[in-house]
Structure formats: structure tokens, C-alpha cells
Structure 1
Amino acid sequence: MNPTLVVFSLCLAFCLGAVPHDRIAKIFKDFDKNGNEIVSDTEAKAFFTVYKQSASDTFVKKDLFVSRWMRTYHDSRFVSEALYDKVDMNKDGLLTDADIPIFYSHVDKNKNGIEWAEFEKVYLAWYNELE
């Protein structure tokens, strides 16, 4: 493929909003409850807790996650299901508390809490895999 065409296509996709930077910023803000621009492991766990049907549940049901994710972040069903599968880091088909530390260490490359640049890079990579 022509490199100029590739660059033009990427620029066009960005300008038209195909790359969901505003959406990623909202997700990051929802993770970062204390607003210090770094997501702690506690904040990451709390973020996923809201997707549980009840506080005593040991896992997040996929259908509940997908419907809430779609409603909150306006992603398609396909993207929402794929994100659930991505965050299921141990690939057992369930999003459990065991997945959160794995997710956290996957995103937090410099081991000082998840910063915006780390979060954006991982989410964009996941999102782009789906296209």
C-alpha cells in the first residue's frame, strides 16, 4: 500500500473521530477516582467492581459488563465484548479479581501507577486490533 495513502487514512480517521481519544480520556478519568492523574491498583479494582451485579460477586458477568460499557462509553457491542475478553487476562472466560493485578501490571509499564500515556497506549493498541 502507498505510504502516503496510509498516512492520509490515519489522519482522516483521527480527524473523523475513529480513534476514540475523548472516550479513552473519559475511561481514564473514571478509573482515576482521586483525580491525581495516576491510577492506583486500588482504583483499578474499584473500577471493575461497579460492573459486578452485587458486591459479593466473585466475577463480572460478560453480558452485564457489555451492556454497561456500551451505555457508559458508547462503544459497539463488538468492541465492548472484545474489551471484556482483553481484560480477562488469564483467559478463563471470566473477569475476576484475579485478572485485575495482571491487567494492572500489563498497563503500568514503569511500575509507578498507571499514567495517562500508558493507559492511552494500551487502550489504543487494543482498539486498533479490533479494526
Structure 2
Amino acid sequence: MVPSETMIALLLLLGTASVYGQGSSGHGHAHAHTCIHNNHQQLIASQVIALVIADMEKDGDGVIDQAEVTAEFVTRYDHDGNGDITEDEFVKQWHQQYHDEHDFAGYLFHHFDVNNDLNLTASDVAALELSLDTDGDGKVSVAEFQTFMTNLYKNCVSFHG
């Protein structure tokens, strides 16, 4: 992938998989985050998933493509414009946009920081991309994304309060 495609793919994964991380992270990060889905707007998992899909899949073709992800996530998550997403950037934006608790968003960030460098980068994208394209067709379909997200939320404890 060329660098811009890699960043776009990263942002796709952030948008689609940022709730990944239920269960034990296994990444050895020093920060302890909880896996309790607490949403400040009382949104349940299916509502958050629907919002993320609506934010990404604008043309209705059933595929979450790089152009859609770029339009939605480049300007929202990489606040300092350096090409990497820090935990602070991710947590702030995820909470602002989807209203999940900061601690939960931090836990998700650490799960996706596959190489443990405290930034979401192209190398993290490469590691996560394969898990999203479950049928191996080289595309991340809305159905694949929705199934992935639903399974992730099911593996997490829900708490509203």
C-alpha cells in the first residue's frame, strides 16, 4: 500500500473496529481499562454500530471504501495532523462522536495498538485489516463490519448508569 492508502485503511479500521477489545487484551499495556460499555447518551451497541456505519458508508453500495473513510475519519481523529492517532485523540473523538465512556474508548485504543507503540499507525492497520475482511475478497463490506462489531459488543458487559 502507498502511505496515503495505508492511512486511509487505518482510519477505516479505527472507525470500524475501534470497539474491538472486549475480553482480555493480551497486549501488555500498562494502562488498565475496563470493558464495560457505558454510553453517556444511553445508546446500546446496535445503535452505536448503526451510527458508525452511517458515518462511513455514504454511497449505499454495501462496501466501506477508502474514500468514504477518508472523508469521515481523517479530519476527525488525527487532531494534530501528524498521520498517527494517539490515545488522547482517539478517546476524545470516540467519546464526542459516539458517547462511549472515556475509559472504555481507552481500552479499545490499547487493543488496536497491536504493536504497542502507543499510536495507531499503518503497522496496526496491516495487522487488523485481515480480521475485518472475513470472506477474503479484499473489501470490507457493511455486513462484515456489522457482524464484527456485534460480536465485539456481545463479548463486553453492558452497563447503563
TM-score w.r.t. length of structure 2: 0.58
Residue identity in the other structure for 1:115? S
Contact 1:44–1:104 (CA under 8 A) maintained in structure 2: no
Q: What is the CA deviation profile of residues 18-49 of structure 1, one whole-angstrom value per residue up to 9, with x for unaligned ones? A: 75112101112222243322112454566543
1:32–1:102 Cα change, 3 Å: farther
- The ranges of structure 1 where at least 4 consecutive aligned residues each deviate by more than 6 angstroms after the TM superposition are none
Residue identity in the other structure for 2:146? E
Task: Specify which of 100, 112, 115 is matched with residue 125 of structure 2.
Answer: 100
Larger Rg: 1
Task: Specify which of 91, 97, 100 is matched with residue 116 of structure 2.
Answer: 91
TM-score w.r.t. length of structure 1: 0.69
Residue identity in the other structure for 2:149? Y
Q: Percent identity of the aligned residues?
A: 25
Residue matched to 1:7: none
Contact 2:77–2:85 (CA under 8 A) maintained in structure 1: yes
Q: Which consecutive residues of structure 1, in runs of 5 or more, have no partner in the other structure?
A: 1-16
Q: Does 1:80 align with 2:122?
A: no
Report which stretch shifted further, 42-51 or 21-30: 42-51
Take 2:99 and 2:54, find their aligned partners in 1: how far apart are those partners? 16
Residue matched to 2:28: none
Aligned length, in residue pairs: 114
Contact 2:86–2:118 (CA under 8 A) maintained in structure 1: no
Q: Which consecutive residues of structure 2, in runs of 5 or more, have no partner in the other structure?
A: 1-41
Q: Does 1:64 align with 2:89?
A: yes
**Alpha-carbon shift at residue 114 of structure 1 (Å):** 1.5
Q: Does 1:128 align with 2:128?
A: no
Task: Specify which of 103, 116, 120 is matched with residue 142 of structure 2.
Answer: 116
Point out which structure has higher relative CO (alpha carbons under 8 A, 6+ apart): 2
Q: Which is richer in helix?
A: 1
Contact 2:62–2:143 (CA under 8 A) maintained in structure 1: no
**Alpha-carbon shift at residue 85 of structure 1 (Å):** 2.1
SS at match of 2:95: helix
